[in-house]
Structure 1
Amino acid sequence: MRVVLTGGGTGGHIYPALAVAREISRQEPQATFLYIGTKNGLEAQLVPRAGIPLEEIEISGLKRKLTLDNLKTLWKFVQAVSASRQILREFQPDVVIGTGGYVCGPVVYAASKLGIKTVIHEQNVVPGLTNKFLARFVDRVAVSFEESLAYFPRTKTVVTGNPRATEVIHGDAEAGREFLGVSSDKRIVLIIGGSRGARAINEAALDLVPRMADDLQSHYVYVTGEVHYEAITKALQEKGELPRNLTVLPFVHNMPDVLAATHVLVSRAGASTLAEITALGVPAILIPSPYVTNNHQEKNARGLERAGAAEVILERELSGETLHKALTSLLKDQERWASMRERSLTLGMPQAAANIYELMRQ
């Protein structure tokens, strides 16, 4: 089987695509892959690391109001469709799978016009512009949430879950602890702002640092995001001696192992993150990004909150004090933690990648 994957910009689009690739490889070891992305997206780093060849096209996203830039974007789209056609003709895939981000648009559209089987996956409750556009052209649509069914043609849409869930269930908690240098008698509190980091979470985490020494039963792992790492480490140095129970990292490439060892997660509410934590049953304190289209992260997070699997702090309410209060309450209440873990697991779909594999085989 020959498979083209496309999805770009952020880890939330790329990691699900890579998870699908790994599931296909498990099912069909002789499968061959090609990834089509952009040179500016995170895929330029993550895809080669996964050992998958990457072809680059030039494309940018549409603005939500009429501007001159949109006219330029439409012209880029036409050129990107032409470039995608050439790549697809040369590779001759059996299927093209898109996982979101504007790079998917020309690639999946070109594939549909060439008569190649096409599947798109939507991670969020409210779909993005690209997947809304592509839905009319593709063969099948996979969604992570039941609520998303209303946005797509019902006859071709299936709830599969997010394939990132399948990826993390293979994580090794012992390997995660070894990587972090944390012994098995310590709880791990993982604070992370997504693949590119989040300024608001970083600021709250900085304020939280002096209080970490009061909780020696826990080890705090603070992932700043690569673009923020230098500034954060400088700010931490200015605070003087850091708590011994704190590890600061710019990025974590072996996230399944680290998540498998995590007791409580503090993070944004991207769809891939929620798929990961519900597959593993990790209780979470979620700070949805208010800067995303249709406020979809808050919609994602509120679903977990209603189910009793997470606590939500809006960014405008976030501070070192509110984060400390939420963490202390959860870490000191083992019964509540266990309940959140159990309810989180009921939401998980660890078979998601296999579901998408079956969907593309139909």
Structure 2
Amino acid sequence: MRVMISGGGTGGHIYPALALIETLKKRHPELEVLYIGTENGLEADLVPRAGVPFKSIQIAGLKRSLSLENLKTAYWFLQSVRSLRKEMKSFRPDVVIGTGGFVSGPVVYTAQRLGIPTILHEQNSIPGLTNKFLSKKADRVALSFKGSEEHFPGANVRLIGNPRGSEVLGTKVDAASVRAEYQLDERPIVLIYGGSRGADAINRAVIEAIPDLSNEDINVLYVTGNVHYETVIEKAPKAENVHIHPYVYDMPAVLACASVVVSRAGASTISELTALGLPSVLIPSPYVTADHQTKNASALVESGAAKLVKEDELNGDTLLSAIRHVLAHEDEMAAASRRLGFPQAADALADLVEEVIR
């Protein structure tokens, strides 16, 4: 089996692809994979690190307003299609899979023009422009949230969840080693992070809250994002129970040891939380398309699995209050979170891959 897969920009598009690849490898030891991304995206780091063959193309996303940059994007798109035609004729994929981000656009489009079966995986409750456009000719569209099918009229949709959750759930964890690596004692772990690149608003609120967090009987593992780390280290008060890191590569292992998570409401994060049954404080990013992170978070909030804090209401006091609320209701919120998970999502997506190439 030969599979070409593309998704990039953020971990939310990359991690589901990597989880699918691992599942397919277990089923098909002879599997050949080629991952297409951009050289500047996070995928250029994460994909080779996972041992997956990687090639880059030059492409950028369309601006939603009139812009000269769109002319450049159109040029790169056409150039990418030309190079991808040659790549696909050489690699001869049995299926091409797009997991989102603008880089997947020319990849899936080229496959559709060549008559190669295509599958889209939509992680968010509200899809982006790329997947909505490509869905019209896709063989299958895999969804992560109930209700998303209304955005794909006429498409062959399947509700399967997000493979990232399956990957996290299947991770074997040595809790003592994780705690030792991050210098965490036996107290409960509150994990705070702002997505794969960090979030300035969350960082500011955590810095404000550290004096009070230092008095709580918890460990705080606080992940700033690489670009924010130096600034945070300069500004953050010292506290023996607050451990600050720029990035965590072994996030599945860390999540498996956490008691409470404070984070954005990206699709991969939601799948991780519900797979593991973790209660959370969710702070949706207001800067994403159609405010889809708030929609992502709604199922957890409405079921009692998460506490929502809007970014325009976020500060040290509101953050601390939300964390205390979740710690006080940890057991019932954890049970509510677990009920929302899709533990077999990676296998379900692998089933679709096998289905379209039969």
Q: Same fold (TM over 0.5)?
A: yes
Q: Residue 300 of structure 1 is aligned with which of 287, 296, 299?
A: 296
Q: How do 1:211-226 and structure 2 match up within 5 A?
A: 211-215=212-216, 217-226=217-226
CA deviation profile, 1:273-319 (whole Å, cap 9, x unmatched): 00000000000000000000000001111221001110100000000
Amino acid in structure 2 at the alignment position of 1:82: R
**How far apart are the structure 1 equivalents of 2:206 and 2:291?**
23
Amino acid in structure 2 at the alignment position of 1:342: A
Q: Residue 273 of structure 1 is aligned with which of 269, 293, 297?
A: 269
**How far apart are the structure 1 equivalents of 2:53 and 2:164?**
20
Question: Aligned-pair distance for 1:230?
Answer: 1.2
Aligned to 1:357: 350
> What is the aligned residue count?
353
Is the contact made by 1:173 and 1:260 (CA closer than 8 Å) also made in structure 2?
no
Secondary structure of 1:135's partner? helix
Aligned to 2:280: 284
CA deviation profile, 1:47-103 (whole Å, cap 9, x unmatched): 110011111101111111222221221121111111111111121111111100000
Is the contact made by 1:142 and 1:160 (CA closer than 8 Å) also made in structure 2?
yes
Question: Aligned-pair distance for 1:155?
Answer: 5.1
Aligned to 1:178: 180
Question: Aligned-pair distance for 1:269?
Answer: 0.3
RMSD: 1.2
Aligned to 1:204: 205
**How far apart are the structure 2 equivalents of 1:88 and 1:255?**
33
Question: Structure 1-normalised TM-score?
Answer: 0.95
Secondary structure of 1:194's partner? coil
Aligned to 2:337: 344
**How far apart are the structure 1 equivalents of 2:153 and 2:112?**
16
Structure 2 gap ranges (5+): none
Secondary structure of 2:320's partner? helix
Aligned to 1:129: 129
153-162 or 245-254, larger mean C-alpha shift: 153-162
82-91 or 65-74, larger mean C-alpha shift: 65-74
Secondary structure of 1:60's partner? coil
Q: Does 1:323 align with 2:319?
A: yes
Identical amino acids, percent of aligned pairs: 51
Residue 357 and residue 232 in structure 1: after superposition, are their counterparts in 2 closer, same or farther (change >3 A)? same
295-304 or 84-93, larger mean C-alpha shift: 84-93
Secondary structure of 1:191's partner? strand
**How far apart are the structure 1 equivalents of 2:30 and 2:215?**
53
Aligned to 1:26: 26
Amino acid in structure 1 at the alignment position of 2:181: F
**How far apart are the structure 2 equivalents of 1:196 and 1:147?**
28
Amino acid in structure 1 at the alignment position of 2:212: R
**How far apart are the structure 2 equivalents of 1:187 and 1:283?**
13
Q: Does 1:189 align with 2:190?
A: yes
Is the contact made by 2:141 and 2:155 (CA closer than 8 Å) also made in structure 1?
no
Q: Which runs of 4+ in 1 moved over 3 A?
A: none
Aligned to 2:84: 84
**How far apart are the structure 2 equivalents of 1:318 and 1:289?**
11
**How far apart are the structure 1 equivalents of 2:60 and 2:3?**
24
CA deviation profile, 1:236-278 (whole Å, cap 9, x unmatched): 3xx3xx2111111111111110000010000000010000000
Question: Aligned-pair distance for 1:181?
Answer: 2.8
Is the contact made by 1:173 and 1:259 (CA closer than 8 Å) also made in structure 2?
no
**How far apart are the structure 1 equivalents of 2:17 and 2:277?**
22
320-329 or 256-265, larger mean C-alpha shift: 320-329
Is the contact made by 1:203 and 1:319 (CA closer than 8 Å) also made in structure 2?
yes
Question: Aligned-pair distance for 1:154?
Answer: 4.8
**How far apart are the structure 2 equivalents of 1:318 and 1:286?**
11
Question: Aligned-pair distance for 1:350?
Answer: 1.2
Secondary structure of 2:115's partner? coil
Aligned to 1:13: 13
**How far apart are the structure 2 equivalents of 1:37 and 1:137?**
21
Aligned to 1:245: 241
